[in-house]
Amino acid sequence: MRLIIFIFLVYFSLLGESFAYIEPGIGSIMLQAIVGFIAIATVTVSFYWNKFKMFILKIFKKEKKIEKD
């Protein structure tokens, strides 16, 4: 644990100044990326969930036997 703390302190003590500009529109781009990821994840999970349900139903489906008199 001491090694991790030591590495953490050395890393952040050696950082220099950074002159960077973040444009105002970056927030909306990040928001769109997050919403897009959530939408894709939701569609993917629902697709595979339906496949899983159909697989389970096929396994446990009881076939009706037609009895002849």
Secondary structure class of 66 (helix, strand, coil) = coil
At 21 the pLDDT is: 78
For residue 11 the two structure tokens come to 């890393």
The model's pLDDT over 5-38, given as tens digits with 9 standing for 90+, comes to 999 888 888 877 777 777 888 889 999 999 999 9
Rounded-to-integer distance, Cα 9 and Cα 26, Å? 30
For residue 69 the two structure tokens come to 């008199």
The model's pLDDT over 54-63, given as tens digits with 9 standing for 90+, comes to 988 888 886 6
One-letter amino acid for residue 10 of the chain: V
The answer to whether the pTM exceeds 0.95 is no
Rounded-to-integer distance, Cα 21 and Cα 31, Å? 19
